[in-house]
Amino acid sequence: MNKTASQTIEQAPAEIVPVQPSEYRSSAMRRRLSSAHDPRANQLSEDYAGKWVILFSHPADFTPVCTTEFMTFAAMMPEFQALNCELIGLSIDSHFAHIAWLRTIKEKIKYKNMANVEVTFPLIADVKMEVAKRFGMVQPAASDTQAVRAVFLIDPKGKVRALLYYPLSNGRNFPELKRLLISLQTSDAHGCATPADWQPGDDVIVPPPGSCGTAKERVEKPAPGAYALDWFMTFQKLPKEALKLQRQRRPNFLPSRAALVVGSQSSPDLWTC
**Which residues does residue 233 pair with via DSSP β-bridges, in sequence order?**
230
**Cβ atoms of 156 and 251 closer than 8 Å:** no
**Known active-site residue 192:** no
Torsion of CA 168, 44, 159, 240, to 10 degrees: -80
Alpha-carbon distance of 219 to 120, in angstroms, equals 51
Burial 193-215 (b: 16+ CB within 10 A, else e): ebeeebebeebbebeebeeeeeb
How distant is the alpha carbon of residue 91 from its chain centre? Answer: 14
Nearest to 168 by CA among 91, 76, 80: 91
Residue 191: CB atoms within 10 Å: 10
Q: Which of 269, 270, 273, 267 is nearest to 12 (CA)?
A: 267
CA angle 236, 241, 49 (to 5 degrees): 95
Check 66, 85, 192, 273 and give the catalytic one: 66
Cα separation, 191 vs 207, whole angstroms: 8
- The type of residue at 3 is K
* Three-class DSSP category at 195: coil
- What residues are annotated to the active site? 66
